[in-house]
Amino acid sequence: MSLKLNTIAFDADDTLWQNEQFFRWTEARFAELLSDHAETDHLTERLHEAEKRNLGHYGFGIKGFTLSMIETAIEVTDQKVPASVISEIIRAGQEMLSHPIELLPGVEETVGALAENHHILLITKGDLLDQERKLAQSGLGELFDGVEIVSDKKAPVYAEIFTRHKVAPEAAMMVGNSLKSDVIPVLEAGGWGVHVPHDLTWVFEHADPPVNHPRFLEIPSLGALPEAIDRLR
């Protein structure tokens, strides 16, 4: 096979650095704050429902998550939640927005090595300022030839990005932990999709893996990417 790969795009959250763990910790804290009013399981379920319901209004990110937590707290307590608990929820959201970045293993070396002979992009969704803050803090900024913070990751969004960066889809690869957002839409757009599973993946990002797709790869960790690409050439 002659591989014409010149562009490698990376997802950010839970591909380059930890993210979902902060949501899980905050969900646990949220459940504790409301433990007098509802069972943990029930609460998490109600919170996910609120997040889903509000996605069209808020999009992805911590600010919308915080607003959905507040809404859920009011709902599950029949409007009896004390304002002090709402204050704690706001504080928890702000702490998420200022948590220090924690790079995943092998990220710096792998992206650095691939940057030597590929055009390297970052394609991420979430709150604009929050994603910029994390990128700045990661110290990886210089490695990327382009940073795309998008409101959602669908096939036409990837197609538009590839066009804008003047790369043919078949010469572009997207690498990420979400089959739903990072892999499947890129395959649809004609590119390569590489799945790097993360232990924690948001319930909304679950999807079935493609079967026998010629441009789909799964690797155990980001460090395995250069070798996986070499095997394709």
- Contact pick of 128, 168, 200, 203 for its own copies (by CB under 8 A): 128
- Rounded CA-CA distance 210/137 in Å is 34
User: If phi over 0 gives left and psi between -120 and 50 gives alpha, with beta otherwise, what is residue 219?
Assistant: beta
- Contact pick of 87, 141, 203, 226 for its own copies (by CB under 8 A): 87
CB of 70 to its own copies, least distance (A): 7
From 15-23, 63-71, 187-195, 223-231, give the range in contact with its own copies by CB under 8 A: 63-71
CB of 198 to its own copies, least distance (A): 23
- DSSP collapsed to 3 states, 152-193: CCCHHHHHHHHHHCCCCHHHEEEEECCHHHHHHHHHHCCCEE
Q: Is 70 in the site for its own copies (CB under 8 A)?
A: yes
Q: Is 212 in the site for its own copies (CB under 8 A)?
A: no
Q: Is 101 in the site for its own copies (CB under 8 A)?
A: no
- Rounded CA-CA distance 89/97 in Å is 13
If we measure between CA atoms, which residue out of 100, 113, 125, 140 comes closest to residue 16? 140
Phi, psi of 74 (to 5 degrees): -70, -45
List the interface residues with its own copies, window 132-161 (CB under 8 A). 132, 149-152
From 53-61, 180-188, 189-197, 217-225, give the range in contact with its own copies by CB under 8 A: 53-61
Q: Is 57 in the site for its own copies (CB under 8 A)?
A: yes
Residue appearing with tokens 């910790």: 25
Q: Is 67 in the site for its own copies (CB under 8 A)?
A: yes
- Rounded CA-CA distance 105/221 in Å is 8
Q: Is 90 in the site for its own copies (CB under 8 A)?
A: yes
- Contact pick of 2, 83, 208, 230 for its own copies (by CB under 8 A): 83
- Rounded CA-CA distance 91/22 in Å is 14
**Residues within the interface to its own copies (CB under 8 A):** 54, 57-59, 61, 63-64, 66-67, 70-71, 73-74, 77, 79-84, 86-87, 90, 93-94, 97-98, 127-130, 132, 149-152
